[in-house]
A and B are shown apart, each in its own frame.
Chain A
């Protein structure tokens, strides 16, 4: 299984991807900086006090769902833990991938759903859950399922629940901050006017532009991070199985399949291997996953087929 391909450059691709998702997270930091600057320009130094409040509120709202992500997602998707004697093969192939990844065996769950899909979550490898729909178990052979299991274990290995929790916290804090500031700008703040009399008008206009654009930019960055982490999970899956063909065939099967997961809640959309939301209507910029065709092309390049 591992002999055919020894030299593909998944390590280089992984390093590049990690750097890019780091840069994107840094970009979110810059947006926070810009908003703080806008705040200070508009309200003077006193405005700073609201920053920790916004970050605190965002942390509280995201942290709980990060910490208990395994339990929450199992409840939300209605996934049932796997009986290892009933589905020996699935249990076996997940434990194979765990040996390849050097990770403990996660909880394995099954979602009753005809659409082929899978997801992983959990705050750390010790609390990881990976789930498969009954549809994907019917559709795919052992090798393809192994590719899917490797992709999901890659999310566990790369700590993607943490990465997306950080992105969500930052985006949430920015949303709270800018919302709050816009309200004050529109409805109040009359008595503060003296502070700003000697302010540069260009800086004032700039700060308003920042406040309008920041939440949108943060949302786009959050989606870009999600797409990068999906692409990284494909690469890490190849590192685990050294078999790009398995995952590639699995993605092709997903592409050919038209059934869509019944639960279309956007709040859990990002965790599935294939986006359960309708991709055709939205542009690439607004989706949580890179297009399947792009992911398949990358894997094909690693197989030496392109």
Chain B
């Protein structure tokens, strides 16, 4: 009699553990989706800032048409992207084009002093920070999910939870490669 109770107890505990690890996988998978949606929200916000920025810069500069066009073109391409890799690639080129534009504005003291541009600059830098934090949050979530998929016991429930390893959000940024190596 006692042995039966004991076996039943062990079975109940095992079943609980199984449900918990499966739920954990489902939860992590949802967090990854939410984190990716957050990236898209922030990219959209940045994209909405661009026309205003381009207009402001145009008003103060004469021969920067190519830099401005690069920003507008990168923005147009970014709106079409859907997959993680495409969004990340488009994101990278917008970041780069914007950086080029901001570098050019250094040559126009009038522009840099204008109240409109200063407000835009704060908004642009906070949005840029949010984009980069959203990427980081997404990658952290992907990391947790991929780790759970590979490790026991959650690895047993990958099929039943219908989850699979997700790609990291990697932005091609030439400045990253130039970054000095950090010693630890």
With A7-B184, A304-B182, A304-B184 known as contacts, the answer to whether A2 contacts B132 (CB < 8 A) is yes
Nearest neighbor of A100 in chain B, beta-carbon distance: B133
With A96-B126, A96-B129, A99-B42 known as contacts, the answer to whether A2 contacts B136 (CB < 8 A) is yes
A5 to B180 alpha-carbon distance, docked (Å): 11
Q: Which of A86-94, A269-277, A278-286 lies at the interface with chain B?
A: A86-94
B176 at interface by CB-CB < 8 Å? yes
Nearest neighbor of A88 in chain B, beta-carbon distance: B122
A99 partner residues in chain B, CB cutoff 8 A: 38, 42, 130, 133-134, 137
A176 to B184 alpha-carbon distance, docked (Å): 50
B179 at interface by CB-CB < 8 Å? yes
A102 adjacent to B35 (CB under 8 Å): yes
A100 adjacent to B137 (CB under 8 Å): yes
B129 to chain A, nearest CB (A): 5
Our pick among A7, A88, A92, A102 for the contact of B137 (Cβ within 8 Å) is A102
A1 at interface by CB-CB < 8 Å? yes
A35 to chain B, nearest CB (A): 32
With A2-B136, A99-B134 known as contacts, the answer to whether A8 contacts B129 (CB < 8 A) is no
Our pick among A1, A7, A8, A88 for the contact of B132 (Cβ within 8 Å) is A1
Our pick among A3, A7, A100, A241 for the contact of B179 (Cβ within 8 Å) is A3
B72 to chain A, nearest CB (A): 25
B183 at interface by CB-CB < 8 Å? yes
With A92-B126, A99-B130, A99-B134 known as contacts, the answer to whether A4 contacts B38 (CB < 8 A) is no
Output the residue of B31, B119, B122, B132 with the most chain A CB within 10 A.
B132
A242 at interface by CB-CB < 8 Å? yes
A95 at interface by CB-CB < 8 Å? yes
B98 to chain A, nearest CB (A): 15
Nearest neighbor of A93 in chain B, beta-carbon distance: B126
**How many A-B residue contacts, CB cutoff 8 Å?**
50
With A4-B179, A7-B184, A100-B136 known as contacts, the answer to whether A95 contacts B126 (CB < 8 A) is yes
A6-20, CB < 8 A from B: 7-8
- A interface SS class: helix
A222 to B125 alpha-carbon distance, docked (Å): 41
Nearest neighbor of A301 in chain B, beta-carbon distance: B184
B137 partner residues in chain A, CB cutoff 8 A: 99-102
Nearest neighbor of A242 in chain B, beta-carbon distance: B136
B123 partner residues in chain A, CB cutoff 8 A: 92
B35 partner residues in chain A, CB cutoff 8 A: 102
A4 partner residues in chain B, CB cutoff 8 A: 179-180, 182
A3 to B42 alpha-carbon distance, docked (Å): 19
B41 to chain A, nearest CB (A): 9
Output the residue of A99, A101, A102 with the most chain B CB within 10 A.
A99
With A99-B42, A99-B137 known as contacts, the answer to whether A1 contacts B129 (CB < 8 A) is yes
Q: Mark B151-184, 1 if CB is under 8 A from A, else 0.
A: 0000000000000000000000001100110111
Output the residue of B38, B126, B129, B183 with the most chain A CB within 10 A.
B129
B122 partner residues in chain A, CB cutoff 8 A: 88-89, 92
A102 to B136 alpha-carbon distance, docked (Å): 10
B38 partner residues in chain A, CB cutoff 8 A: 99, 102
Query: Which 10 residue pairs of A and B lie closest in terms of their CB atoms, listed nearest first?
Result: A100-B133, A92-B126, A99-B133, A96-B129, A99-B130, A304-B184, A102-B137, A3-B179, A3-B176, A99-B134
Q: Which residues of A contact B (CB under 8 A)?
A: 1-5, 7-8, 88-89, 92-93, 95-97, 99-102, 240-242, 304
Q: Which residues of B contact A (CB under 8 A)?
A: 31, 34-35, 38, 42, 119, 122-123, 126, 129-130, 132-134, 136-137, 175-176, 179-180, 182-184
Extra A-B contacts (15), CB below 8 Å, given A3-B179, A304-B183 = A2-B132, A4-B179, A4-B180, A88-B122, A93-B126, A95-B126, A96-B126, A96-B129, A97-B133, A99-B38, A100-B133, A102-B31, A102-B38, A304-B182, A304-B184
